[in-house]
Amino acid sequence: MEYRYVGSSGLRVSPICMGTMSFGTWSDKSESFRILDTAFDRGINFFDTAEIYPVPPTAEMAGLSEEIFGQWIKTKSRDAVLVATKVAGAASGWFVPPIRHGYTAIDRHHVETAVEGSLRRLGVDYIDLYQVHWPDTVVTIDESMEALDRLVESGKVRYLGTSNDSAYGLTKANTVADYEGWSRFQSIQNNFSLLNRRFMDELANVCRQEQVSLLPYSPLGGGVLSGKYNLGKAPANSRFADYRQSGEARQRAMADRFLNEGTLASTARYLEIAAEVGLAPVTLATAWSMQHDFVASTIIGARTAEQLESSLAALDVTLEDDVLRKCDAVHAEILYPMG
C-alpha cells in the first residue's frame, strides 16, 4: 500500500482513513470493533473521530465514539495507529451539545479542556492529529492558534488540522502561525466528492501552495453515490431518510442539498460509468476522491463491517484518464450546465 504524508508533517497515513461517527448509534460497540478490525487488517493505520461523535449527536452521547475507539485501540500497538480527533468549535450549535458551558470556543480554556477530555476517553497519552471541527467566528485566529500550539508544545498533540474551513480561513491561520512561530495546520478536512467539487475552486490551490493536505469526508455524497437512492423511495434507516423525518431544519436542509434531482441524475450516470469499468459505484467514488494530488487520505464510514468492502477495494484501483474525463463530463453537464 502507498502511504502518504499529511502536509509537511511526519504523519505517514494510509490513503483511506476510517471514520467513526457511526460508533455508538448506527453501530454498537461490537460492530464498531468489527469495522475497526476489518480496516486495520487491510492496512488502514489512520482513524478519525471527534469529541461530539456519534451522529446523530446528542448532549448525552457526545464523546461515545471516542470511548469506543479508545477501548479498541488498547487491543493494538499504539505506534501502529494514527489517531485524529476534533475540538467541536462554534458551529456545533446545531447539535447544542453542552460539552462545556453550552458553547465551545476555540480559546485557551476550551481547547485545553477539550483535549483533556479526548485524551481521557481515548485512553491515550497523545493525539496524532488534533483538528478544529468548525472555525470559530468570534475568538480571534491568533488566540486559537496560540492555544492549539500550546498543545503541541506540551506533547499532548503532534500536529494540527482544521475542518469545514475556507480558503481565507486556512491561509489566515497558517500565516499567523508562521509569523508567530507556532504550529500550523497540516490538514483540512472538508466535504469533497463527485457530487461536491467546491474544494477545487480555490482550496485545492491553497493546499498545493501551502503544503496542506485535504482529508476529504463524505466521498459518497452522504451515501447518494452508492446508488441506493436511485431505486425510488429512500431506503429505511438511511441517513437522509432519517434527516428528513427528524423535524430538525438543518438536517432536512442537508438532506435536500445532497439528495435532489441534480445529484440523482449525476449518480445515475456515475453508476453507468462504474458498470462500464467493472467497479462497484462505491469503489469508483472512493477511488476518484483518493486520486487527487492534494488528498492525503479519504475518510470513509460504515455501519457494518460488510459495508467496508467496496470502499476498501479502492485501495487497489487507479482510474484511467478516460474514466476521469467521463466523470468530469457528467459534472459539467448536469450540475453546472453551460448553455
* pLDDT tens, residue by residue, 116-140: 999 999 999 999 999 999 988 888 9
- φ and ψ of 59, to 5 deg: -60, -35
Among candidate residues 5, 53, 130, 179, the one labeled active-site is 53
Q: Residue 104 pairs with which residues in a beta bridge?
A: none
Residues 17/91/226/307 CA torsion (nearest 10 deg)? 50
Average pLDDT over residues 23-32: 95
Percent of the chain at pLDDT exceeding 70: 86
Per-residue pLDDT, 232: 67
Q: What distance in Å separates the CA atoms of residue 50 and residue 118, rounded to the nearest whole number?
A: 8
User: Domains in the chain and their CATH numbers?
Assistant: 4-223+285-317 (3.20.20.100)
The cell 438511511 sits on which residue?
A: 238
Provide the CB-side half-sphere exposure for 50 (13 A, CA).
24
Residue 53 is among the residues annotated as catalytic for this protein: yes
CA–CA separation, 11 vs 230, rounded Å? 39
> DSSP of 9-25, one letter per residue?
SS-EE-SEEEE-TTBTT
CB atoms within 10 A of CB 168: 12
Q: What is the mean pLDDT of residues 64-77?
A: 97
pTM of the model: 0.93
Summarize pLDDT for 194-210 with one digit per residue, the tens. 999 999 999 999 999 99
What is the C-alpha separation between 298 and 283, in angstroms, rounded? 12
Cell readout for 177 is 502561525
Instruction: Report phi then psi at 40, rounded to 5.
Output: -60, -40
Whether 241 shows a pLDDT value over 70: the answer reads no
Residue 305 banded pLDDT, cuts 50, 70, 90: very high
